[in-house]
């Protein structure tokens, strides 16, 4: 039988906040504060961040399904 694989997680977090570049905290990881976490959430909800799609017109497909 194969031996179990040991996964090592970094205990100390030396990464910086993606919003303000300050040191991130465990409470709001990967952010440094609730403020930066909320800024990031707002960017997602407002459409500033988006996951790219391979199809050019995803909205037209959704509308055509409603006609069925």
Report all structural domains of the chain as residue ranges with CATH numbers, in order of start: 14-48 (3.30.50.10)
Q: Report the pLDDT value the prediction gives residue 60, as an integer from 0 to 100.
A: 59
Residue 52, C-beta contacts closer than 8 angstroms, at least 6 positions apart: none
Buried b (16+ CB within 10 A) or exposed e, 6-20: eeeeeeeeeeebebe
Instruction: Please tell me the predicted confidence (pLDDT) of residue 31.
Output: 96
Query: Residue 65 — very low, low, confident or very high, per pLDDT cuts 50/70/90?
Result: low
**Predicted pLDDT at 51:** 86
């Amino acid at each position: 039988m194969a031996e179990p694989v040991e996964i090592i997680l970094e205990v100390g977090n030396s990464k910086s906040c993606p919003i303000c570049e300050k040191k991130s905290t465990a409470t709001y990881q990967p952010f440094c504060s609730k403020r930066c976490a909320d800024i990031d959430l707002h960017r997602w909800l407002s459409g500033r961040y988006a996951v790219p799609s391979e199809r050019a017109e995803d909205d037209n497909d959704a509308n055509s399904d409603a006609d069925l």
